[in-house]
Amino acid sequence: MAPADDERSAPLGIRTGGAAWNAIHLQIAQGALTELAQEGYSAFSIEGVAAVAGVNKRTIYRHYSSRLELALAGIAQMQTFQGWGSNTGTPKQRLRAAVERGAKNADLLPAIMATCAMYEDQEPELMAQLRERVLSARQDAISAFLAQGVQEGWARADIHAWQVLALIDGLNASVTAGLGPLGNPRKRVSAYTDAVWRYLACDPDAE
């Protein structure tokens, strides 16, 4: 009996869907995100991802069938901000926890957005993935956080999620361009938290 397709593609000793397989799958996707942000989709390649991820091309093709599928997997690694406001503490402490959670790969977002927009006509799946898996998810998470704040009385009712996102993305773009606070990650999170809190809080001086 011929082996199933997933059995043929599985590396020797690694079960498809097992912990080792999943770890490699994620490692490749994270490498794809880095490569896509650095090179753009025009120069995005299996070879480049293999070099960044530290695997060979054959391993990549066991996990992802095409260059487009690999790029989509990379985009899916962007932080979605899910979990905003779920931590305990004061509103500003919860905001800080949310900003810290959302800081993962945030510096890559301007480049990812640019390349998805540039190739929206040729590869519409790229922008669709970015909107669905990242941008819309971020906006939904922040909307829930703001709604909680309005209900509890510490967030301004006239602030919308897209405005908060615009502020955060502007800060990210400034940092990427070398214009924002480029200290260690803790200092950057503090600077972002202070800026967002001053914008959305009814009492910006409250801690």
Q: Indicate whether 69 and 141 sit together in one domain.
A: no
Domain that holds residue 32: 5-75
The answer to whether position 71 is within a domain reads yes
pLDDT tens per residue, range 65-119: 999 999 999 999 987 776 666 667 888 988 888 888 777 777 788 899 999 999 9
Q: Indicate whether 68 and 99 sit together in one domain.
A: no
Q: Indicate whether 58 and 97 sit together in one domain.
A: no
The CATH number of the domain holding residue 59 is 1.10.357.10
Q: Indicate whether 21 and 49 sit together in one domain.
A: yes
Domain count, the chain: 2
Please give the model's pTM, rounded to 2 decimal places. Answer: 0.79
pLDDT tens per residue, range 2-31: 333 333 344 434 556 788 889 999 999 999
DSSP-assigned letters across all residues of the chain: -PPPHHHHHSPTT--TTSHHHHHHHHHHHHHHHHHHHHHHHHH--HHHHHHHHT--HHHHHHH-SSHHHHHHHHHTTS---TTTT-S-S-HHHHHHHHHHHHTTTGGGHHHHHHHHHHTTTT-HHHHHHHIIIIIHHHHHHHHHHHHHHHHHT-B-TT--HHHHHHHHHHHHHHHHTT-S--S-HHHHHHHHHHHHHHHHBSSTT--
Q: Indicate whether 41 and 120 sit together in one domain.
A: no
The answer to whether position 82 is within a domain reads no
